Amino acid sequence: MKIPAPLFILLALPHLMADEAPTLKLIAEVKGFASPESIAWDGTHYYVSNVGKELKPTAKDGDGFISRMDAKGDHLELNFIDKLNAPKGMVVVGKTLYVCDVDVLLGFDLDSKEKTVEISLAKDGVQLLNDVCAASAGKLLVSATDKNKVYVVDTEQKTFAEIGFDKAPSGPNGLLYAKGDDGAYLILVEWGRDNQPNGNLKGYRLDRTLLKATYEAAPEGFPVKDGYLDGIAVLCDDQGEPQSLLYSDWVALKPEGKLFWVGMDDPIIRTELTIPKGPPGGPADFFLEAKSAVLALPCMLEGRVLLLQLAPHE
């Protein structure tokens, strides 16, 4: 699998050594969330999706909400947007916050908090829309973990269509869209199948319509496999060349989660990063801000969010 330089998703962190795993330093630990699953960023604030007091990711119980806090984890507005069901993956595009909520994709104006987009995928039998990322103009990619599917959602036309895979993913979870000189790609991590930790990383080349995806085999020895995989970010140098990636693995449904760094030089090296405040329970859909190299990590089983500074290894 060739991981390409992106159009607007992969992260340029040139001050981090390409061939050496970074360290993580604690900025803040913010508690009081209710099953926090995903974090998005608008340049000023973090947004945290909360599935609810009970971890019921498919329940339409109305107890889900979205929180907002500043870059230091202060000034927390716990119920910034409320009366949702089980909100999970989010992305900010312009002034709109898009969020997956069970079987519907919602969009909220960040200034007014008004709902401006509502696209239901219920007719396809989906019950676990999980992650969302921006693709080409006006289009988003959305994973349905329960159906082993990824959809292209047109936010202008209010329509959706299933991507056709030549090798279907197994419980697709975290998504990245990347566009380089040789075309567009979808990179994803899998939760796995049969509720076992057998998820892998997969890469696909997308056709011009985004509706056909061709599997790109990973190089031999590529060490991203066999886990409950959730969040992912690919790091590039200042020339836009992919150098390494980060991904999270729940490991088990208790506080044993891990965060891995994978250096993509030859040979490929995987390093488990030491997370301040101990192993997280349910390290879910994290956000890595390129300019500051700050990682916002939701610990879903523990109701907390860690803000962590990535720094060169000392």
pLDDT band of 290, cuts 50, 70, 90: confident
Q: Domain with 197 in it: what CATH number?
A: 2.130.10.10
Distances (CA, A) of 49 to 41, 112, 153, 166, 186: 12, 18, 20, 32, 23
Distances (CA, A) of 272 to 80, 180, 247, 275: 34, 29, 10, 9
Which residue type, as a one-letter code, is found at position 106?
L
- Structural domain contains residue 16: yes
Q: Which two tokens stand for residue 250?
A: 């729940």
- Structural domain contains residue 303: no
Are 124 and 167 a contacting pair, CB within 8 Å? no
How does pLDDT run across 159-199, given as a tens digit for each residue? 999 999 999 999 999 999 998 777 899 999 999 999 899 99
- State how far the Cα of 120 lies from the Cα of 122, in Å rounded to an integer: 5
- Structural domain contains residue 309: no
Are 303 and 33 a contacting pair, CB within 8 Å? yes
* Mean predicted lDDT score pLDDT of the chain: 92
Q: Phi/psi at 122 (nearest 5 deg)?
A: -60, -30
Taking Cα atoms as reference points, which of 143, 17, 39, 54 lies closest to residue 92?
A: 39
What is the count of structural domains for the chain? 1
How does pLDDT run across 65-122, given as a tens digit for each residue? 999 999 999 999 999 999 999 999 999 999 999 999 999 999 999 999 999 999 999 9
- Structural domain contains residue 2: no
Q: Which two tokens stand for residue 177?
A: 């869209």
Which residue type, as a one-letter code, is found at position 67?
S
- Structural domain contains residue 299: no
Diameter of the chain by CA atoms? 53
- Structural domain contains residue 241: yes
Q: Residue 242's domain spans which residues?
A: 11-27+35-294
- Structural domain contains residue 301: no
- Structural domain contains residue 283: yes
